[in-house]
Amino acid sequence: MGRSALTYLERPMPDDLAHLNLTFLAVAREFARSHPEEAFIRLGLDREACALLANLSLPDLQRLARSGALIFRLAQSPGQLAANLTLARRDPLLSEVHLLLSAEPA
Same domain, 10 and 44: yes
Same domain, 81 and 34: no
Q: What is the CATH number of the domain that holds 46?
A: 1.10.4000.10
Q: Counting beta carbons within 10 angstroms of the beta carbon of residue 88, is it exposed (0 to 12), middle (13 to 18) or buried (19 or more)?
A: middle
98 vs 82: CA distance, rounded Å: 12
Buried b (16+ CB within 10 A) or exposed e, 57-82: eeeebbebbbeeeebeeeeeeeeeee
Same domain, 64 and 12: yes
Same domain, 58 and 6: yes
Domain that holds residue 53: 1-72
pTM (global) more than 0.85: no
State the total domains in the chain: 2
Span 43-102, pLDDT tens digits: 888 899 999 999 999 999 999 998 888 887 667 777 877 777 777 777 666 556 656 666
Same domain, 24 and 64: yes
Count of positions (residues) in the chain? 106
What is the pLDDT averaged over residues 34-49? 89
The per-residue pLDDT for 106 is 47
The per-residue pLDDT for 67 is 86
DSSP 74: -
Spatial contact of 76 and 85, defined as CB atoms under 8 Å apart: no
Same domain, 18 and 35: yes
